[in-house]
Structure 1
Amino acid sequence: MTYVNSTRVARNGLADRFSTLTETIRTALRQRRLYAQAVRELSTLSDRELADLGISRLSIADVAREAAYGK
């Protein structure tokens, strides 16, 4: 008795790899812009306004990082 096993490997072509790379770069740029905007906006607030939000001036970068990139 004979039988045949065939296994197909899905391979991404060059176009697929390029589009994945492009989307990765776009996502990274979008996150970086969101981070910079959050830092800019939080930095313009007074210490009192930041305290009302429960944010210290030292933690602005951490809050902006979490907003842009998640935990």
Structure 2
Amino acid sequence: MAYTTDTRATGFGQRIAEFRASLADRIARQKIYRSTYNELQSLTDRDLADLGISRSAIKGIAIEAAQAR
């Protein structure tokens, strides 16, 4: 007589949990990106120059901020 163990339910539940965690992480990173980008965009050219940032570097800085999370 052969016995089997059904582990699909546990594996499926784990995949859903991983998907939800991944989705939450992506949402959090997007929120950090948007807030960083918007804050830097709202600064004047003079303020950006004082910080040593050019307008063309804002997107890259926002991406770095989101990835550092």
Q: Measure the CA separation in 1 of the matches of 2:28 and 2:41.
A: 20
AA of the residue aligned to 2:38: R
2:62 — aligned with what?
Answer: 64
CA distance in 2, matches of 1:15, 1:54: 48
Aligned partner of 2:48 in structure 1 is 50
The residue type paired with residue 50 of structure 2 is D
Point out where structure 2 has 5 or more consecutive residues left out of the alignment: 1-7
Q: Map of 1:30-45 to 2, 5 A cutoff? A: 30-45=28-43
Runs of 4+ in 1 over 3 A off after TM superposition: none
* Aligned CA-pair RMSD: 1.4
What letter matches 2:37 in structure 1?
V
Q: Which runs of 5+ in 1 are unaligned?
A: 1-10
Q: With the length of structure 1 as denominator, give the TM-score of the two structures.
A: 0.78
Q: Which residue of 2 aligns with 1:17?
A: 15
Letter in 2 for 1:58: S
Q: Please report how far the alpha carbon of residue 60 of structure 1 lies from its aligned counterpart in structure 2 after TM superposition.
A: 0.4
Which is richer in helix? 2
Amino-acid identity (%):
37
